[in-house]
Amino acid sequence: MNAVLTVAKELWTSIPLINRLAVYETKIKNKSNYLGSFWEIISPLLFIAIYWFAFGYGIRQRSDVDGIPFLTWMLAGIILWFFIQPGVTNGSKAIFSKIKMISKMNFPTSIIPAYVVISRLFPHLALLAITIVYMQFAGHPISIYYLQIPYFLVAAIMLVISVVMITSTLTVIVRDFQVFIQSSIRVFLYLTPILWPMDNRLPDWLIPVMKINPMYYLVEGYRASFFYGEWYFITNASYTLYFWALVFVLFSIGAVLHVRFRRHFVDFL
Amino acid sequence: MKKSVVVKNVSKKYKLYDTHAERLKDLLLPKSYGEEFYALHNVSFKADKGDIIGLVGVNGSGKSTLSNIIAGTIPPTKGSVKTNGEAAMISVSTGLNGKLSGRENIELKCLMLGFSKRQIRQMEPDIIEFSELEQFIDQPVKSYSSGMKSRLGFAISITVNPDIFIVDEALSVGDKAFAQKCLDKMHEFEQRGKTMFFVSHSLTQMKEFCNKVIWLEFGEIRAEGEASEILKQYEAFLKEYNAFTPKEKKAFRNQGFEKQSAVRAVTE
């Protein structure tokens, strides 16, 4: 419990530092490319086009999802995926790849995975802005329910930071873990209703199983904000409760692991 | 007088594993696997403010491990290090990111040390000036020569103004002029009462510069005291060591290695 408080306090008091380092991280990441940070938006847009072609045009034969065009439906969910997926993979190797930059012991190491995750936020915000503009023309103009978007975004950030708090530590200790994360995270693209809708298509008993995956909550939350016209976190109050309990448990495990090993990170390199 | 660094019974144990499996077993199982190796064993000393302490010893005697522990970049296995103020270490390319340019490294390093954007903008010209990198400052650090890297590292460290300063071999790669510039700067620090540690194989630099010397051998302190006296002893030892036949040198190293692995049996 002590460890949880320590890490939470470290993150909370270092928010300005996390932001500055995150800005820096984005700035230098695409330095060697001519198009620079534009790739952060071009590359997901390319994927969106491919997924639309394969799933919307090909497999679904351009059919709607409950009255919403497939592209619109997919876009509302997939933009979150383009934050979570790189957030988890980059965050997992954050400590391993950055620890050498740190030359003093009292640096709050827990902010390293956090700032790497936050740095993925900038491309997401750009994609989100594009999506919001698109929605105005796609017949889902700004409504009061858009106010849920910041909530679900914060929820996504908390989830990803909690997950990488665990994985970044484990990656330092056992290098293979990074490879495992990189390959297993891709599975979630298909286990979350991002490319194909799940309810009404899966047997009733399977839906709760799929909902164990917390990304289900986030993706559906984003969709609710754009076009379901409901306060998703209230109408699904018990799911909200489950989500935050899970985040808390993951964060606690991550914090305990982090505090337990942090002094010895350099010894594992 | 207030002590600026107090090192008490510091030991640093490394584990040598033969296989990956051994490493994993050691991590997961309560039983100990792998061979233990003491890079440092039971090292204690104190440093006053304004001291310039030279660390000498043949390769593998634990100089770098000790300086890393004082700087706080690696934790000691046993014992404690108390430092009065911030410690900073300079060695060839400490904490420089090869992919980034010199300027970006300055910014990142200073961010990591907790400076604000504005402070960094103020410090940057001084750092670039001191490093003498001029037009190379925007080139990636991986393309720098080792002299350029150590100049950059040195320039960053002196500008952030630490209270305790550890220079690990950093001056042996730069040219004479730059080394002299650094030594001048360090003399200035000495007058301001900063503590410095100096790791070098250049005994001339040490003689001119240090007031105390600690002589490490196989992870333990063989001798410490006034610089001139210890350096004389060390020089005599080096002469003797250099006169060894390769076989004798090897025997000497093996004897040390056995000592460093067997320490545990003696102490526990």
- Per residue in A207-218, pLDDT (tens digit) is 889 889 999 999
Mean pLDDT of B184-190: 81
The band of A239, judged by pLDDT with boundaries at 50, 70 and 90, is very high
Question: Between B97, B100, B114, which is nearest A17 by CB?
Answer: B114
Nearest CA in chain A to B100: A28
Identify the pLDDT of residue B254.
Answer: 82
What gap in Å lies between CA A152 and CA A244, rounded to an integer?
A: 11
Mean of all residue pLDDT scores within chain B = 81
A-interface mutation test, from B108, B118, B142, most A Cβ less than 10 A away? B108
DSSP B258: H
Task: For the sheet with B164-168, list strands across it.
Answer: B87-91, B164-168, B195-199, B52-56, B212-217, B220-226
Token pair for residue B212?
């105390």
The band of B1, judged by pLDDT with boundaries at 50, 70 and 90, is low
Would B24 be classed as within a structural domain? yes
Coil, strand or helix at B205 = helix
Would B40 be classed as within a structural domain? yes
The Cα diameter of chain A in Å comes to 58
- Per residue in B217-251, pLDDT (tens digit) is 888 888 888 888 888 888 888 888 888 888 888 88
Would B240 be classed as within a structural domain? yes
Would B7 be classed as within a structural domain? yes
Would B248 be classed as within a structural domain? yes
Q: Residues of A with CB below 8 A from B104's CB?
A: 28
Nearest CA in chain B to A263: B75
Question: Between A20, A28, A264, which is nearest B75 by CB?
Answer: A264
* Partner-chain contact A104 B114, CB within 8 Å: no
Q: Domain residues for B10?
A: 3-86+162-267
Specify whether the CB–CB gap between A225 and A146 falls below 8 A: yes
Kind plus residue range of the DSSP H or E element containing B191: helix B176-191
Question: Between B14, B72, B108, which is nearest A24 by CB?
Answer: B108
Nearest CA in chain B to A174: B24
The band of B173, judged by pLDDT with boundaries at 50, 70 and 90, is low
- Lowest model confidence (mean pLDDT) among A149-158, A226-235, B101-110, B201-210: B201-210
Identify the pLDDT of residue B189.
Answer: 82
Specify whether the CB–CB gap between B111 and B30 falls below 8 A: no
Mean pLDDT of B143-157: 82
Q: B30 vs chain A: nearest CA distance in angstroms?
A: 16
Question: Between B71, B74, B97, which is nearest A101 by CB?
Answer: B97
- Lowest model confidence (mean pLDDT) among A118-132, A154-168, B167-181: B167-181
Would B29 be classed as within a structural domain? yes
Q: B145 vs chain A: nearest CA distance in angstroms?
A: 19
CATH of the domain at B251: 3.40.50.300
